[in-house]
A and B are shown apart, each in its own frame.
Chain A
Amino acid sequence: MDWLNAILQGTLLGGLYALFAAGLSLIFGVMRLVNIAHGDLIVLAAYLGLTVTVGTGLHPLLALILVVPAMGLIGYGLQRGLLNQTIGQDILPPLLVTFGLSVILQNTLLEAYTADPQKLDAGALETASVSLGGLTMGILPLLTFLIAIGVIWGLQWIFYRTALGRAFRAVSDNQEIAQLMGLNRRHIFGLAMALALAVTAVAGILLGIRTSFDPSVGGARLIFGFEAVIIGGLGNLWGTLAGGVILGVAQTVGAKIDPGWQLLAGHLAFLVILAVRPNGLFPRISG
């Protein structure tokens, strides 16, 4: 039963990791941009959520109505104003710029919100749980998992069923030809970043309800996001969810043996998959 519980909790944890990773996966899939500041953007979203809940008294989940579009706008502005200037044949400049952005974000948040740990107050939702045949699931982790499925499904639908998705896939396949066909690459990239940060907003709010956060915690979350993306296969959104779940289960099963193995087991699972399937389990993009 204990093992079953570890696997169950790991699966639910995978939902959170998939949310961390979905935005990364999307940006990388569309414009081959590795966003080092992703973790800090998640924390930024959590702080925006905090500002909204404290300012208006809304429940954190309702605050999403404001935070998601706000992050979307920030994403579009960020891409058009800054990151588009760095995108080219060389993948190094965007990497360095987002690294710098990460440092700037952390210190701006520190200046604006101080180093105090903050938490989003979701009331009874934080501690509620349901029991199922001896296994106990927290409502919040369950909700996180369901939201992760919903978000991935939504992204998948946008990618393969809408004109915007067609544009994303076109610039992803070949930027120059897409440009020749009348797509404004810069605008499309801006929209992709907006969408990615909208997802980040959801991840940030759920993180903020689950644990307390301060300006410096973003970086630690980044690595799980990267691992989930790579385990699942670059550019495959459902793969990202699977990657998150594999990572989560590996961690909790590792922790069942000894808590010190929690992260190690996750990293080992990642390395094994990288060794056996260098492109991840379900790659959409080669190389």
Chain B
Amino acid sequence: MSKLKIKPNRRNFLTGAAAVIASPALLSATRAYAATPTLRVGYVTPTTGPLAGFAEADEYILSGIKEALSGGIENNGKNWAVEIIVRDSQSNPNRAAEVAADLILGDEVDIIVSAATPDTINPVADQAEVNEVPCVTSVAPWQAYFFGRNGVPGEGFSSTYHFFWGLEDVLGAFMDMWGSAGVTKTVGGLFPNDADGNAWGDPEKGLAKPLAANGYELIDPGRYQPLTDDFSNIIAAFKTSGCEIVTGAVIPPDFATFWAQAAQQGFDPKIVTVGKALLFPSVVESLGDRGDGLSSEVWWSPHHPFSSSLTGASSNELANGYSASSGRPWTQPIGFVHALFEVVANAAARADDLDDPAAITAAVANTNLDTIVGNVNWANGPVKNVCKTPLVAGQWQKEGDSFDLKIVANAEAPNIATTGELKLLG
């Protein structure tokens, strides 16, 4: 229902026509002749629409980045000013592709970055790849990015790079957390019929096989449609099988429906570890007391022992800075969006020639940088163009009136300290 199409209208036409008419005048003033050349960075982000939660801290992060880069970037003894151009994907893949193309062809950005779910980054990366513009993305499991774009392991892509974790890391972190709890190893899988649900629930590439290898039984009743109002059959299936653990990749409204109905139907699992829905504090808070004790993967937190290569701020300072300036709790994407610009600034300083896209791409590919989300180095990735950042598991625990995400399992990344112990539900 919410699809928007931009149709040519008088205003768009006039803007376009004015640009065409004015272009000869602009050509004589390109940066080759300017005293301080400008590096243009395009940023595609879901400012509005259902994914807006991922982008809520953009303004704060960008103001910090702009301040840090206000003196420009030093490249081969020359100072370059940095201009960041932000475009809203409206949480729509088509729109994301459109604004990415616009940034590349219209604004002529030198490098493009994007974050928040495959729906945003995949179309952006595809546009960048076609136009041979260097592109760095994050905040989507690498399988969804790599295989979602029909990447071939070994070949990879030429201009587009991604850093985040993968499904194997999520599962590792989850099993690390469950293993210590001593509950029955029967896991109920709550998998929606969307990109994430199908990836997690896939009998071959999904959770089923690795779970079985570690002695867990996965009860998978099948894919439900997102935004359904009734989970009674899935709950009945979990109850009959005696599931004590529930996992899945669920959107917030579906989780709220499921969780209330589970209580109505007398289904009380000991551990509920759900990706996606439980990332944001606002979602957990909306569940009230029923949010206490739910668990989720943790990509980044104020307790992560990393700091920014750009501003020097620690994870704690960045997260608390956002909370202080907005009055809202910190969110996990903050670190990753910040890190995108760390990578850009680092690559821009190292590139042989900032006028040559290929040189910038080469600089990105050779990155070895300790960012606020961990080390980014594409030489160590599981496939070409992909680099993995550490992942741990956490539990939302109520302290007074607010919820705190305690890191309760860190076998996958022991350098990130645990901050609490897993408590069973019920």
Task: Please list the residues of chain A having a beta carbon within 8 angstroms of any beta carbon in chain B.
Answer: 2, 5-6, 9-10, 13, 16, 36, 39, 102-103, 106-107, 110, 114-119, 121, 126-129, 136-141, 210-214, 216-222, 248, 251-252, 255-256, 258-263
Contact = CB atoms under 8 A, between A and B. Distances in A.
B4 interface: yes
B2 A216 contact: yes
A256 B233 contact: yes
Nearest to B284: A117
Given A2-B236, A9-B230, A211-B257, A136 B266 contact: yes
A141 B52 contact: no
B286 A212 contact: yes
A36 B2 CA distance: 11
A121 B224 contact: no
Interface residues of B, number: 45
A126 B283 contact: no
B184 interface: no
B208 to A, nearest CB: 16
A139 B263 CA distance: 11
B263 A262 contact: no
Contact of B256 (A115, A212, A252, A262): A212
B59 to A, nearest CB: 13
A219 B1 contact: yes
Contacts of B51: 115
A4 B91 CA distance: 40
Contact of B264 (A119, A138, A252): A138
Q: Give the one of B234, B257, B260 with max A CB within 10 A.
A: B260
A212 B253 contact: yes
B252 A212 contact: yes
27 contacts: A6-B233, A107-B48, A110-B48, A110-B49, A114-B56, A115-B50, A115-B56, A116-B286, A118-B286, A126-B260, A126-B290, A127-B264, A138-B261, A210-B229, A210-B257, A210-B260, A211-B256, A211-B257, A214-B50, A220-B226, A222-B1, A255-B234, A256-B233, A259-B233, A260-B193, A260-B225, A261-B222
B221 interface: yes
- Which 10 pairs from chain A and chain B are nearest by CB? A219-B1, A138-B264, A115-B52, A127-B263, A212-B256, A117-B252, A9-B232, A116-B282, A211-B257, A259-B224
Interface string B232-265: 1110100000000000000011111100110111
A217 B227 contact: yes
B225 A13 contact: no
Interface in B30-57: 48-53, 56
Contact of B224 (A114, A141, A219, A260): A260
Contacts of B49: 110, 115, 216
A129 B53 contact: no
A240 B264 CA distance: 27
A10 B230 contact: yes
A93 B52 CA distance: 31
A116 B52 CA distance: 8
B265 A136 contact: yes
Contacts of A10: 230
B288 interface: yes
Given A211-B257, A263-B225, A252 B288 contact: no
A259 B197 CA distance: 13
A260 B229 contact: no
